[in-house]
């Protein structure tokens, strides 16, 4: 199995032959490591996206204004540690979601599906959907809260908001994996950098990050709203009936630009997270592939 579009030099092919089970561990590890660095950006992004919920622009106070002012506001309200709020849940979510996502994508590559026209996009979307579904309970909160949700809302409560999470990760995963593979192959073709250099993956990740932020932000806003809305005793959301209802209400009551609320912090979080995740994943795959190659 190799990433689509990758050049077939012997060293490259050897180091890219990695079993799906290994990709599960490498993908989860790479994304968890990236999460440690980008979680403060996630905190700021979430607060910006929840600010002024279902209220017309100019009719609500705005304690969070722009990235740097928002960082300062979080520190004033919660202290420096407030920037790492939810890190445990973030690591759990990233590990579960991306472990499943990279495992499924690796299976698709191994089966040759990504070599078909549009195969990378489809494989990335399906892998992302499965990963989002498995990781959805972890996106709600840390383990202590999961127990409370289980008692009060039952099993279905653990998947509250999954209707927004699955489309969000589907489009993001499809964009990320397809553009990373294509961008990396294009950079290699230009021969600006040594083929095996980590800078190739870095460049591919930087190009991919722009596509990811562009397609994910509207779904990210919706997903944030669905997960954070108040619920009744049965676990039913009190503000939104689902993905479509949330999209319509945001569009009508806050305007279409509200779907890109927090775009700056969203890119500052999604961009570095995409770059670091893909870079760490690619480098870990090199090491794993070389280790397997040397052991044969």
The pLDDT of residue 97 is 93
Q: Are 187 and 256 in contact (CB under 8 A)?
A: no
Band (10; pLDDT cuts 50, 70, 90): very low
pLDDT tens per residue across span 225-266? 887 788 777 777 788 888 889 999 999 998 998 898 878 777
Fill in the DSSP letter of residue 257.
G
Checking if the pLDDT of 101 tops 90, the result is yes
The pLDDT of residue 293 is 60
pLDDT tens per residue across span 77-89? 889 898 998 898 8
Let me know the angle formed at the C-alpha of 159 by 154 and 161, rounded to the nearest 5 degrees: 125
What is d(CA 252, CA 248) in angstroms, rounded to the nearest whole number?
Answer: 6
The pLDDT of residue 205 is 92
DSSP secondary structure string for all residues of 55-70: S-TTSS--S--SHHHH
The pLDDT of residue 290 is 74
Q: Which residues contact 294 (CB under 8 A, 6 or more apart)?
A: none
Written as six digits, the tokens of 291 are 């280790």
Q: Are 278 and 204 in contact (CB under 8 A)?
A: yes
Q: What average pLDDT score do residues 13-34 get?
A: 82
Q: Are 57 and 256 in contact (CB under 8 A)?
A: no
Written as six digits, the tokens of 231 are 């619920």
Checking if the pLDDT of 100 tops 50, the result is yes
Percent of the chain clearing pLDDT 70 (strictly above): 88
pLDDT tens per residue across span 60-74? 777 777 778 888 888
Band (53; pLDDT cuts 50, 70, 90): confident
The pLDDT of residue 296 is 58
pLDDT tens per residue across span 130-188? 999 998 887 666 545 666 777 777 777 777 767 777 888 899 999 999 999 899 999 99
Band (38; pLDDT cuts 50, 70, 90): confident
Provide the 10 A C-beta neighbour count for residue 75: 14
Q: What average pLDDT score do residues 107-129 get?
A: 92
The pLDDT of residue 51 is 80
Q: Which residues contact 56 (CB under 8 A, 6 or more apart)?
A: 253, 254, 255
Max alpha carbon distance in the chain (Å)? 67
Band (11; pLDDT cuts 50, 70, 90): very low
Band (13; pLDDT cuts 50, 70, 90): very low
């Amino acid at each position: 199995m190799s990433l689509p579009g990758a050049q077939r030099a012997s060293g490259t092919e050897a180091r890219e032959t990695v079993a799906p089970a290994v990709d599960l561990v490498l993908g989860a590890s790479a994304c968890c490591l990236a999460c440690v660095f980008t979680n403060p950006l996630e905190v700021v992004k979430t607060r910006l996206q929840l600010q002024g919920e279902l209220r017309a622009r100019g009719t609500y106070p705005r304690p969070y204004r722009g990235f740097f002012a928002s960082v300062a506001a979080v520190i004033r309200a919660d202290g420096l540690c407030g920037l790492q709020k939810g890190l445990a849940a973030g690591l759990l979510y990233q590990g579960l979601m991306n472990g499943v996502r990279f495992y499924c994508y690796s299976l698709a590559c191994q089966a040759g599906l990504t070599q078909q026209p549009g195969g990378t996009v489809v494989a990335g979307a399906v892998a992302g959907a499965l990963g989002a579904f498995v990781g959805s309970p972890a996106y709600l909160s840390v383990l202590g809260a999961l127990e409370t949700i289980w008692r009060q809302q039952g099993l279905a409560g653990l998947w509250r908001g999954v209707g927004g999470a699955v489309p969000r990760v589907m489009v993001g995963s499809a964009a990320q994996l397809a553009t990373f593979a294509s961008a990396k192959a294009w950079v290699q073709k230009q021969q600006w950098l040594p083929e095996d250099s980590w800078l190739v993956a870095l460049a591919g990740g930087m190009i991919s990050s722009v596509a990811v932020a562009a397609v994910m932000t509207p779904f990210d806003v919706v997903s944030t709203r669905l997960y954070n809305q108040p619920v009744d005793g049965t676990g039913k959301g009190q503000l939104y009936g689902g993905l479509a209802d949330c999209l319509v209400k945001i569009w009508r009551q806050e305007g279409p630009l509200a779907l890109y609320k927090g775009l700056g912090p969203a890119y500052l979080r999604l961009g570095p997270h995409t770059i670091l995740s893909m870079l760490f994943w690619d480098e870990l795959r090199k090491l794993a592939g070389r280790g397997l190659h040397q052991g044969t």
